[in-house]
Amino acid sequence: MDGSSMSQIPPGSPLSPAPPPTPPVPLAELLAREELGLRLIAGSADAELLWVHTSEMADPYPYLLGGELLLTAGVQLTDPDTFVARLVEAGAAALGFGVTPVFDTVPRGLVEACERHGLPLVEVGPGTPFTAIARAVWRLMAEARLRELRRVTRAQQALASAAARPDPVPAVLRQLAVQLGGRAVLLTAQGEELHASGRLPAPDVRAALARLVRVVAAGERPGPASAGDTLRETRLSAYALGGGQGLVLALATDRREAGDHTIAGVAVVLLSLLAAPHQGADAAGRSAALVRLLLGAGPQDVAPLLGGAEEWTVVHARRSGDRPVDPLTTGALGAALGSALVDAGRGGDAVRVLVPALPGGGRITPQPGWVLGASAPAALPALADADRQAARALGRAVATRTPLAHHRDPAGTGLAALVPADRAEAHARALLAPLTEPLAETLRCWLSLHGSWDRTAAALRIHRNTVRQRITRCAALLDADLDDMDVRTELWFALRNLR
């Protein structure tokens, strides 16, 4: 890892993000305070200060924590080289030397020792009390902390807004990459990339990040909740999402601000919630239902294992704009509809969701980023018919560019209710006998959309020329004039009564 060491962040910390720590104060900012009259006479102004400490001990090493600006007048300074070497060993960030009353100028040996050991040396003039320097550092720290809190707050708001978008998971990753100035990736425990945003890092950085992901990914034995590493100037981090989902958020960033870990923690919380599977039906019960169906049990026998609903609504769904689907987006759709029974389909197939029928005749509601078609409520034995209803409703929604279409039941109302169902179906079978199922479905869709070639093509996901060919074939097989409204009406009645 290019000489760097791996550090594990305390388990669980991302799921309860704490406020960011106080950012360090650049020495250059302190030197810029003209009222203090400070002058850098050795070393670099790039040092960062964590606090201020004053000492006149010959060896203050035991009392230093690291990152200090040590202020001294050199009361017991006898061996500058040993003194500076011990400060560097203790991790001091810089040395401030006050001239008068002990020394009129900074000792030349001290300047040379600081240059030799790379410790910044600041001359403090006789008119500047050490307390004024300490007060200035604390003020700069308070200002830096306020700036960082504001940055973290803005980032939290941006991430929360992203989580409310139609594509919440990619939106959160995109916003996280912007806020941290790097690459944000969501992966499975096997390293499969689900979503990513931000600039693509170098191959060796990606390889190092993959190794870090394996550290926190769920395996045979639990690993840490998060881990971090550094490769050259790139900071690498990996966070396991909560809920035992086997998903990992990986980050590769160049910037290292105090609040970055807090911002990443907020993203982990949001992604954990967005990717969490819906628990409306017990997973063991669903598995048992599947096993019983495969072994020959009837639908009515497995219904109690699926949550006890007597009727179900089948929902077919496609992403708006034909965007691709993935397990996270389909799972989020199921959760929004109140069901864990989701079939993501294959290729261009629609996503299908089996939803317990809403009480009191409640209806499915539109979902941002999706186009939906919903069937009428149906008992388990009738789900095959409900599946066809949902497919037709989705086709109508796509064709009419509406976010949701419900199945329209022809029975029970109007003139259709005057004809017994069995006689209506017998008439439909006799009239439509010459048509194959694809031709009958194309004719039904074409009639439902008032003879629109383009809308029918969109609804059935076929070319408009194919629609024309099929309708022409229907007219020939039925020996009917499809421009005649009486003919259309009779065919429509038959198609809606064909089971």
Segment 362-384, tens digit of pLDDT? 678 888 888 999 998 888 778 88
Per the DSSP assignment, residues forming a β-bridge with 93 are none
What is the spatial distance between Cα 437 and Cα 443, in angstroms, rounded to a whole number?
10
Report the mean per-residue pLDDT for the chain: 83
Q: Which amino acid is at 272?
A: S
* Pick from 314, 460, 309: nearest CA to 387: 314
Whether 89 has a pLDDT exceeding 60, the answer reads: yes
% of the chain at pLDDT higher than 90: 29
Whether 402 has a pLDDT exceeding 50, the answer reads: yes
Confidence grade of residue 67 (pLDDT, cut at 50, 70, 90): very high
pLDDT of residue 230: 85
Please write the tens of the pLDDT for every residue from 221-267: 455 677 888 888 888 888 888 655 678 899 999 877 778 888 988 88
pLDDT of residue 281: 45
Whether 134 has a pLDDT exceeding 90, the answer reads: yes
What is the spatial distance between Cα 230 and Cα 252, in angstroms, rounded to a whole number?
9
What is the spatial distance between Cα 300 and Cα 283, in angstroms, rounded to a whole number?
19
pLDDT of residue 30: 95
Confidence grade of residue 499 (pLDDT, cut at 50, 70, 90): low
Sign of CA dihedral 414, 415, 419, 423: negative
What is the spatial distance between Cα 309 and Cα 358, in angstroms, rounded to a whole number?
9
Q: How far, rounded to the nearest angstrom, does the alpha carbon of residue 349 sit from its chain's CA centroid?
A: 24
pLDDT of residue 361: 62
Mean pLDDT for the stretch of residues 278-303: 65
455 vs 14, residue with greater confidence: 455
Is it true that the peptide bond before 366 is cis, omega within 30 degrees of 0?
A: no
Confidence grade of residue 6 (pLDDT, cut at 50, 70, 90): very low
Confidence grade of residue 312 (pLDDT, cut at 50, 70, 90): confident
Report the relative pairing of strands 312-319 and 94-98 from DSSP bridges: unpaired
Give, for 61, the enclosing helix (H) or strand (E). Answer: none
pLDDT of residue 385: 84
Please write the tens of the pLDDT for every residue from 103-113: 999 999 999 99
**CA dist list (Å): 124 to 35, 73, 102, 206, 471:** 12, 9, 13, 47, 93
Both structure tokens of 433: 């006998």
- Residue 338, CB half-sphere, CA atoms under 13 Å: how many? 15
Mean pLDDT for the stretch of residues 300-305: 70
Whether 164 has a pLDDT exceeding 60, the answer reads: yes
What's the order of all strands across the beta sheet hosting 193-197? 193-197, 182-188, 247-253, 234-240, 226-231
Whether 321 has a pLDDT exceeding 60, the answer reads: yes
What is the spatial distance between Cα 57 and Cα 44, in angstroms, rounded to a whole number?
25
Confidence grade of residue 14 (pLDDT, cut at 50, 70, 90): very low
Q: Per the confidence metrics, is the pTM higher than 0.75?
A: no
491 vs 299, residue with greater confidence: 491
Whether 153 has a pLDDT exceeding 50, the answer reads: yes
Give the SS3 label for residue 319: strand
CB 386 within 8 A of CB 352: no
Contacts of 430 (CB under 8 A, 6+ apart): none
pLDDT of residue 39: 96
415 vs 36, residue with greater confidence: 36
Mean pLDDT for the stretch of residues 114-119: 96
Confidence grade of residue 77 (pLDDT, cut at 50, 70, 90): very high
Please write the tens of the pLDDT for every residue from 403-441: 998 887 655 455 666 667 778 788 888 888 888 888 988
